[in-house]
Chains A and B, each alone.
Chain A
């Protein structure tokens, strides 16, 4: 690219390139770092959104729902179906998908989590793993193995930002993550239902004594985490496409975010997600993109070894 610098912004290059392009193929190092950070925060917000789904169920049942990634996948695929089969515009298809996945969450609770008598959390966790395999298998039969696109919510024209660019969809991802975390915080901290859900996890017997119907709370938490998972799947679909097996990696990364931030901690998961996203993208950018996922899982292991309660999480004894 030996063209004179001064002309770069004026000359329309080539007959077939459409509108004039600002050809700054060479980014400065600072711009590159900025771009890595933007990507990191975007990807981190996705992890955080998924991590929140883990939190909701953990907060009311103390179990880790490993089918959380499948909620994300179902959100995306149901939106695709709403658009293709019912010819709905994206917002309506999205709402329908969120409702649909909540119902699937409720079904999961009624059909798989509720039936075992007096189960230990580990039994229930294994049940959720089984459920995730089942849901994935069913989805591959229903939707096939092909990926599907969803159009970006507000176009794909990138927003310039100090020499780096932000995808419009990234703004959506960050916005939805922010709204969800604030509303959840409000819900668990301020509303009676939210407090009741927390209470039935921390002290099930005491909660029962004051008249909280624990099984109803569990049901509610599955519906809510289904909705949050579906929302995550819908907002990232335009970036990543949706495919029946996307839930595995999504679920694991969301789980990492929740662990790093402190499982059950509403702000911790945002913190954990964003840290994970940034470390991943800086690692891929500055060290090697071949180690991107390895970096995430090494952080997860280190956290589990040295600070299992997470960065913001408190030790269990103090939580009451």
Chain B
């Protein structure tokens, strides 16, 4: 190939590159102009299908319900809210793609979601780089610890669930406990927190057992626990494991109380474990027992309203996960409002600052007090300890 020809090709490439760049720049500026100030865009990514759809579907429903009701009520200071939703299917790659699409194509001002901890961790770098606020609806404490500038989350963390259980044990004068945790991300994280916080509440862990998520029988671990002088058992897992533990505990005639994690805070656990679930405890969001809350409880109004609205709109029971999306959506809306109130244009940066400054926001998960050090803003009071009695939850405090 002659040098001349190569030069020609190079020239053509240069021309092409310049043209592409110009078109791209033009389209970006066009799009920027096209963005009407009559509309605030909230991006949402939830796993409304796939393995986590039990969590993601109520989240999507809740976000859509709020979009409608806020717009019917006149929007944010007269400006309509537009929800741009993508389904992640619980897949990390899809979540990243959807996030980039929200940022680059839809140009949203803030993103709420995703549903699972794994997916949330997968997009942290993307949102940090793009400098767009994210309010995750996933549980893991690692999403906000260490603190990331642009990342917030609404669900309570494992730490708070553990503290809620330990608080009760301490009150009951318990000193020695046995723990049994599932060998997966949820169980491992719970196990670490259970071990870290035990000494703070004067507790000694005398048995530290594990089980596989698909194990058919836990009598071995429970027999081992029975051989110790533990005064309470704490099981950390999601269905069906804890139901098998509850059954085996009863069959082995173990009488020390059983505490579960918030991972079984659904009727499914009671259905699976049947009678064996009677008398067991678990920490749960207040939505489960909203009718039993004292009228003085500051969250009662929000919780009852959300429950009523959701159940009227979708004809299926409201759950805690939808509540996480409810909190995330409202926090985003509050941030827009506060920015406008402080005479700031609601840019991404202003919204972020306003979330970080938000104090005393009453949500379904608790009362949120954000700060530069705490991007979750909740305390263990977001949980209540419930006891299963007569196939239903009762407040155990």
Contact = CB atoms under 8 A, between A and B. Distances in A.
A304 B214 CA distance: 24
A39 B219 contact: yes
Interface string B39-60: 0000000000001011000000
A249 B212 contact: yes
Interface in B7-42: none
> Which of A36, A249, A290 is most buried by chain B, counting CB atoms within 10 A of its CB?
A290
Contacts of A32: 223-224, 226-227
Contacts of B272: 147-149, 241
A289 B224 contact: yes
A289 B216 contact: no
Contacts of A246: 214
Contacts of B271: 149
Contacts of A17: 255
B214 A249 contact: yes
Interface in A220-257: 236, 239-241, 243, 245-246, 248-250
B104 interface: no
> Which of B215, B223, B254, B279 is most buried by chain A, counting CB atoms within 10 A of its CB?
B223
B252 interface: yes
A189 interface: no
Nearest to B224: A285
A24 interface: yes
Nearest to B271: A149
Contact of A42 (B54, B217, B243): B217
Nearest to A146: B268
A263 interface: no
B185 interface: no
Interface in B300-358: none
A284 B274 contact: no
B247 A27 contact: no
A288 B247 CA distance: 22
A26 B219 CA distance: 15
Given A32-B224, A145-B51, A249-B212, A165 B252 contact: yes
B244 interface: yes
B211 interface: yes
B380 interface: no
A281 interface: yes
A213 interface: no
B251 A36 contact: no
A241 B51 CA distance: 18
Interface residues of B, number: 42
A289 B223 CA distance: 12
A27 B255 CA distance: 13
Contacts of B180: 289
A41 B254 CA distance: 21
Contacts of A241: 239-240, 243-244, 272
Contacts of A27: 223, 226-227
Contacts of B248: 167
Given A149-B272, A289-B221, A26 B251 contact: no
A240 B220 contact: no
A249 B215 CA distance: 9
A114 interface: no
A158 B224 contact: no
B240 A289 contact: no
Contacts of A26: 226-227, 229
B163 to A, nearest CB: 25
Nearest to B269: A147
A145 B229 CA distance: 37
A16 interface: yes
A43 B214 contact: no
Contacts of B215: 240, 292
Interface string A27-46: 10100100110110011001
Given A240-B215, A284-B224, 15 more contacts: A24-B253, A26-B229, A32-B223, A32-B226, A39-B217, A43-B216, A147-B243, A147-B268, A148-B272, A149-B243, A156-B250, A289-B220, A289-B224, A290-B210, A292-B220
The list of the 6 closest CB pairs from A to B, nearest first, reads A240-B216, A241-B240, A147-B240, A249-B214, A290-B210, A35-B223
29 contacts: A1-B229, A1-B231, A21-B253, A22-B253, A23-B255, A25-B226, A25-B255, A26-B226, A26-B227, A27-B226, A32-B223, A39-B220, A39-B223, A145-B53, A146-B239, A149-B271, A149-B274, A158-B252, A165-B252, A167-B219, A236-B216, A241-B240, A248-B214, A249-B214, A284-B221, A284-B224, A285-B223, A289-B221, A290-B183
